[in-house]
Amino acid sequence: MKILLINQVFVSPDEPGHTRHFEMGQYLKKRRHELVIVASDLNYQTGQRTVERRGLYAEQNFSGVRVLRSYIYPAIHRSYFWRIIAFFSFMFSSILTALCLEDVDLVLGTTPPIFQAVSAWVVALLRGKPFLLEVRDLWPEFGISMGVLKNPVIIALSRWLENFLYKRADHILVNSPAYREYMLAKGVPADKVTYIPYGADVDMFNPSIDGSSIRKELKVEDKFVVLYAGALGQANDIDTLLRAAERLKKEERIMFVLFGDGKEKKRLETEAQNKNLTNVIFAGTRPKKDMPLIVASADVCLAILQDIPAFRTTYPNKVFDYMAAGRASIIVIEGITHELIESSRGGVYVHPADDAMLAQKILELSQNPAQVKTMGVNAREYLVKNLNRRGTLDETLDLLEKLVKA
C-alpha cells in the first residue's frame, strides 16, 4: 500500500515534538508499505523553518520515510487570528503538493488543525480513494471550551465543518475512548469509529537509560527533579506549576525543569523571573531523539492542563513516554488520564489549578524515594502490557488494509 498523510505538524526525530507518524512510517516500511507525509515547513512548537524550499515543496527522507515540506505562512505564534491564516495557507499548499503524488491507495487526514483534514478530504475525493480521518484532539470543542472561539457565527461554522468531515470520512480513527463516545453522541455510526491508543515505544523509553548527562548539564545532579516536557501554550496550565514552585522555594533540593516551547514561553519566563523562581529551569527544546535521556534524568514527571471539561477526554502523549521510562507521573488533569494513572498505580493525581495540592504532593514524593520507585515500576509494567506502541501499530495496519481492500 501507499498511504498519503497530510499533517501540518509532523515532527521528525531531529525536531522537538511527538514523532508517532514518523514511527508509523518506519513500521509500515518494514512491512513493505509506504507512508508519504505532506507536512509544513515550520516546526509547530518553535515556529522555526525546518527546511528551505525552492518551489512548491522540499522533499526530505528520514530513514526511508518520505516527507514533502509544503509552504505555511510563518505566523503560528503571533495571535489566534494569524494562526488561522497560517492554517489556511497550508490547507491550500498541501492540496497542490499532495496532487503531485502518484499511485496513492488511501489518504489519511489528521486533526487538529482541522483545515488540513479538509485538504485530505479534497485530495481523496479528486483521487477517488478512501479517506481516513484521524482525530487526535476534539476541534472545535477544545477551542470553544478554552474561550479561544467566542463568536457564535464562527462557532457554528466550526461545528458545521466538524460534522461535515465526520460524514465524509470513510472511517474515523481516534486515540481516546472518550472521543469515540463523543462522536457516537453526535450520531456517527459505531462501526465507523475505531479507537486505537497511541501508547509509547517501550524500547525507545526504558528504565535502563542513564540520564545523568542531562542532570550534569543542567547542574541538578543532587536535586529532586520534577520534569515537564511539552508545549508551553495556553492549554498547558504552566501558571499553576509556577505557583507551586513559588510555594516550594525554600525546599532547595526540589528543582522544576521544563523542556519545550510555545506561544506562552516568553510570558512564563518573565513571570518566573518576577517571582525570583531560582528553582525553575526553562531548558529549551530538544529533538525527540533526545527525549529518552531527558525523561531518564527526572525523578518524577508532570502532565498538566487547564481545568476545562473537554480536556477530561484526552490522553497527553507525554504521559505514555513517562510511563514507558519507568517514571512516576504527577497528573494535574481530570478525566481519563486521571483514571489511567490510578489504574496503573503509576503516580499521583492533583486537582487541576490547585497549586497548593501540587506543591504538597511534590514535597511528599521528594521525601519518599521508595514510593517514587515503586510507582515508576508499576507505570512501566502497565504500559508494556496495555499500551505498547508495537501492538497499537499492528491494529492501525489492520485498519488501513481493511479500508484499502473495501
Find the mean pLDDT for residues 34-59. Answer: 87
The pLDDT confidence band at residue 79, using thresholds 50, 70 and 90, is confident
> Are 274 and 226 members of one domain?
yes
Residue 39 lies in a domain: yes
> Are 289 and 373 members of one domain?
yes
Could you give phi then psi for residue 83, rounded to 5 degrees? Answer: -65, -40
Residue 37 lies in a domain: yes
User: What is the rounded distance in angstroms from the CA atom of residue 20 to the CA atom of residue 147?
Assistant: 29
Tell me the residue ranges of DSSP E strands in 178-316. Answer: 193-195, 224-229, 254-259, 280-282, 300-304
Query: Is 47's pLDDT higher than 80?
Result: no
Residue 80 lies in a domain: yes
Q: Which of 135-149, 305-319, 359-373 has the lowest mean pLDDT?
A: 135-149
Give the rounded percent of residues in the chain with a pLDDT score beyond 70. 100
Q: Which amino acid is at 100?
A: C
Q: Quick count: other Cβ atoms within 10 Å of Cβ 60?
A: 17
Q: Quick count: other Cβ atoms within 10 Å of Cβ 2?
A: 16
pLDDT at 80: 74
> Are 272 and 397 members of one domain?
no
Query: Is 288's pLDDT higher than 90?
Result: no
pLDDT at 18: 82
> Are 229 and 183 members of one domain?
no
User: What is the rounded distance in angstroms from the CA atom of residue 267 to the CA atom of residue 272?
Assistant: 9
Q: Which domain holds residue 274?
A: 212-386
The count of structural domains within the chain is 2
Which one has a higher pLDDT value, 277 or 83?
277
Residue 93 lies in a domain: yes
Contact at 8 Å (CB) between 379 and 344?
A: yes
Query: Is 96's pLDDT higher than 80?
Result: yes
Question: What is the CATH classification number for the domain harbouring 90?
Answer: 3.40.50.2000
> Are 233 and 219 members of one domain?
yes
Dihedral sign, Cα of residue 357, residue 359, residue 363, residue 369: positive
Contact at 8 Å (CB) between 311 and 145?
A: yes
Find the mean pLDDT for residues 35-58. Answer: 87
> Are 44 and 190 members of one domain?
yes
Query: Could you tell me where the DSSP H helices lie in 169-277?
Result: 177-185, 212-218, 238-247, 265-274
* Helix (H/G/I), strand (E/B), else coil: 343: helix
What does each C-alpha distance from 134 to 108, 193, 225, 399 come to in angstroms? 7, 10, 35, 12
Q: How many CA atoms lie within 13 A of 322 on its CB side?
A: 31
Residue 73 lies in a domain: yes
> Are 378 and 334 members of one domain?
yes
User: What is the rounded distance in angstroms from the CA atom of residue 76 to the CA atom of residue 78?
Assistant: 6
- For the stretch 244-272, pLDDT in tens is 999 999 999 999 999 999 889 999 999 99
Contact at 8 Å (CB) between 330 and 347?
A: yes
> Are 30 and 112 members of one domain?
yes
> Are 184 and 219 members of one domain?
no
Residue 207 lies in a domain: no
- For the stretch 119-161, pLDDT in tens is 999 999 999 999 999 999 998 888 888 887 888 998 999 999 9
> Are 150 and 139 members of one domain?
yes
> Are 380 and 243 members of one domain?
yes
> Are 242 and 132 members of one domain?
no
Residue 204 lies in a domain: no
Residue with cell 497550508: 90
Residue 234 lies in a domain: yes
